[in-house]
Amino acid sequence: MSQKKLRWKSVMFGCCTTVAPSPESRRPELKQISLQRLSLMDKSDPSSPLSAEDISNSLIGLTLHVFTLAELEIVTNKFSWNNLLGEGGFGPVYKGFVDDKLRPGLETQPVAVKLLDLEGLQGHREWLAEIVFLGQLRHPNLVKLIGYCCEEVHRLLVYEYMARGSLADQLFRRYSVAMPWSIRMKIALGAAKGLAFLHETDRPVIYRDFKTSNILLDSAYTAKLSDFGLAKDGPEEDETHLETRIMGTRGYAAPEYVTTGDLTTKSDVYGFGVVLLELLTGRESMDKSLRSRGQSLVQWARPLLKDLKKLDRVMDPRLEGRYCFKGSQTAAALAYKCLSNRPKPRPTMSDAVKILETLQDFDECFCENLCNAG
């Protein structure tokens, strides 16, 4: 590891444990919490975030492993640069390999180990959020959290390894073969299912940072949502929205959230609309090649989505026409609704899933295109 990564700030964030305590040692007040989904904030004191001890006590019974730093050094070959997968606002991510020799009960598999850089853009709270949400929520379209490490000031997370990296890597990588239409629609459907699941839990989860770099892909291009550092529990039943500090990524945040800080599940729907637009166009949400409208992909493309005669100007030219014409119209109409400037006209993610499910039979649709052209 570099010297920068070793210069951890000398700040303690609550009590950390390397071995989950036994059920008998659970604090009484946490027994009731464990029957419901644990919230990031302690309800008795909204200003006090949960400590790592609270989490390890409350998540007993789930399949999270509490790793030691020494174990993760073994897994990643001492955080070798040869194992470095990338680095984001949270910190560097390393590829590793685990099996039952490291820890009884561990499935033999490659893993991704994310190491929190306390000098970076994110911190302890985002690390907690990852554990709180991914430790309790399981779905085929959410990346699987295998375990974590909280040892002195060190904060690490261990995930399933996603062989194809992020959607951003695949979609915007230069000098590569264009991603086929059928794969794009498969990814759109998987990502939509992940968001729909979050929105329909007993207490909805608002993802808040939906973007191509947070959608990871396995070897079969199955889309899985990752990076829950900015996720929030949705409003209570008697509330319509959350009032939060404005955070997220430029180009993906909903207009009403940017201007007022009001956050709802429809804010996520807008972000999904941006990603769907990126899948259609092959362009990034903030595109320097666009000279007009401040380089915003949405501002440039949205007026064209409702005009079928202009839709070909939106579609990714690298596809070379190899896409379903009717499917592209349906996807464009969905993106247009998701990108409404007002939240109410936007569809729910369940509605988006239903629409995208009709776009999965590419071969049949493409054959229809050829017949019509003939």
Q: What backbone torsions phi and psi does residue 362 show, to the nearest 5 degrees?
A: -65, -45
Q: What is the pLDDT of residue 13?
A: 32
Angle between helical axes of 362-373 and 181-199 (0-180°, round to 10): 130
Judge whether 2 lies within some domain. Answer: no
- Does 193 map to a domain? yes
Q: 64 with 145: CB under 8 angstroms? A: yes
pLDDT of residue 34: 32
51 domain-assigned: yes
The pLDDT profile of the chain, 374 residues, written as one tens digit per residue, is 443 333 333 222 333 433 333 333 333 332 333 334 555 543 334 444 555 555 555 554 457 888 999 999 999 999 999 999 988 777 899 999 999 899 888 889 999 999 987 775 567 778 888 888 888 889 999 999 999 998 888 899 999 999 999 999 999 987 778 899 999 999 999 999 999 999 998 888 999 889 999 999 999 999 999 988 888 887 655 554 455 555 667 789 999 888 888 889 999 999 999 999 999 999 999 987 776 655 889 999 999 998 888 899 999 999 999 998 899 999 999 999 999 999 999 999 999 999 999 999 866 565 555 445 44
- Note if 54 is an active site residue: no
Q: Residue 166 has what pLDDT?
A: 95
Please report, for the domain that includes residue 40, its CATH number.
Answer: 3.30.200.20
| Phi–psi pair at 57, nearest 5 degrees | -70, -40
Specify the pLDDT at position 41: 47
Residues 200 and 100 reside in one and the same domain: no
Q: DSSP character for 135?
A: T
Given the residues 209, 233, 262, 316, select the one marked as catalytic.
Answer: 209
> For residue 1, is it within any domain?
no
Give this prediction's pTM.
Answer: 0.82
Largest CA distance in the chain: 73
Which residue range forms the structural domain that includes residue 14? 7-160
* pLDDT (0 to 100) of residue 369: 55
In a domain, 105, yes or no: yes
Q: For the chain, where are the alpha helices, taking DSSP H only?
A: 3-6, 28-33, 52-58, 69-75, 124-134, 167-172, 181-199, 255-260, 265-281, 297-305, 325-338, 349-357, 362-373
Residue-level pLDDT at 33: 30
**Residue 190 has what pLDDT?**
98
Residues 232 and 132 grouped into a single domain: no
Cβ-based neighbours of 364, under 8 Å, separated by 6 or more: none
Q: For 312, which DSSP code?
A: G
